[in-house]
Structure 1
Amino acid sequence: IHKAKAIQPLLALLKQKGLTLHFLPPYSPELNRVEKLWHQMKSEWMAFKARSAATLEADVDKILAGFGSDYRMTFC
């Protein structure tokens, strides 16, 4: 959708201003940083246990609130 002919003039304008967009392949979760974040949240930062929807939401909120201070990621 982001490569549609209708937005090509806008992409050209952005390129003139120094912004070049590099599109990911259609299905590439290994290249998507948010997928890496969710994986690290589930596999490292959250204990493996049964949760209700409310408890899961609270645990995710706690991690996202502490992201950058209590929880950090590197992309190496």
Structure 2
Amino acid sequence: MSKTAPDHDFPFEEGDTVLVRVRENGTGGNIVAKFTAECTSIDARPGPTGDFARFELPGMMNSVSYRPYEAEFEVVGR
């Protein structure tokens, strides 16, 4: 692994604005939620639970977390 490689499995970093598409079956099936939000944290965990990224929901006081295989991610701003 290079020194500049991230230590997690996401195609973005904390602070990036990301389009998140949540599908019925991970990365397959119908889209059940879609939103754009800033990634507030990435928790890189070894082992079976794996990494997860946290996003503040736009216009709400809640946040959500997803693992790399639970949604599709597209960086729309840095």
* Shorter-normalised TM range: under 0.3
Structure of higher RCO (CA pairs closer than 8 Å, 6+ residues apart): 2
TM-score (norm 1): 0.24
Instruction: Choose between structure 1 and 2: higher helix proportion.
Output: 1
Tell me which protein shows more strand as a share of its residues. 2
